[in-house]
Amino acid sequence: MLEQINLSLKLPKKDYKRQLPDLQRRLYDLEKTCWDEKIPSIVIFSGWDAAGKGSAIATLTERLDPRGFKLHKTQAPRTYEQQRPWLWRFWLNIPSYGEMAIFDLSWYQRVLVERVEKLVPKRAWRRAYRDIVDFERMLADDGAVIVKLWMHISKKEQKKRFQALEKDPLESWRVAKQDWERHAKYDDYRQAAEEMFERTDSEWGPWTIVESTDRWYARRKIFQTLIQTFEERLGDKAPRRYTAEERRGGEKVVDISKEGGR
């Protein structure tokens, strides 16, 4: 499936720069409305190393109200976390009503890294598919919006990016031995990812493949996916879109911290 994705899609940088302010403001307006309507949301970033997850998250959150979202970077489970049900540590980071939780990696590491690197028994990652679907279904039934993004690049492109980072003295620290080891297992990870899509794509938690060879195209698609998802969830309660003239005139920016407080 991933082999059939068109990774040559591009967006001129000047077009991206022109469209970005409107995309950021629209997402801000939707964040504010979800806060007012007490609709929680979960945004999951997954995908290949060096696909641009970190920079995409930075751009996504640049104009959001920081009091309306929390960012969670998923690390390997600690010893005390391994003594509890494996989803326990993620339950602790589920957003409050109205808030947005952004996960840089997530519970899907169980069926990706932990599977391919054999960090857990086969029965554990096999059972995780059912656990994940049930977990997300429970969150959706409670009103949560779930957006799952897979940032996709080819093996050749990943190698090119690793090499470029290593040549930069200020960025070389970002590429470790483990990154190259995972790169060598690209096909194994691709197989694991495709099974993950097949088993965990659902009506309440669909996967979106983000073609990420071109960073400008990828970031625009991420914004468009989130905006469309929130607009569909809000329906008639979605804020209206302002015209260019209204924006130039400057509409009032609402402080969500004064709308119910924290």
Residue-wise pLDDT for 111-161, tens only, equals: 999 999 999 999 999 999 999 999 999 999 999 999 999 999 999 999 999
CB 146 within 8 A of CB 34: no
Domains of the chain: 2-234 (3.40.50.300)
Query: What is the value of pTM for the model shown?
Result: 0.91
CB 109 within 8 A of CB 74: yes
pLDDT in tens, the chain (262 residues): 899 999 999 999 999 999 999 999 999 999 999 999 999 999 999 999 999 999 999 999 999 999 999 999 999 999 999 999 999 999 999 999 999 999 999 999 999 999 999 999 999 999 999 999 999 999 999 999 999 999 999 999 999 999 999 999 999 999 999 999 999 999 999 999 999 999 999 999 999 999 999 999 999 999 999 999 999 999 999 998 876 667 666 555 554 544 444 3
pLDDT above 90 covers a percentage of the chain that reads 90
Length of the chain as a residue count: 262
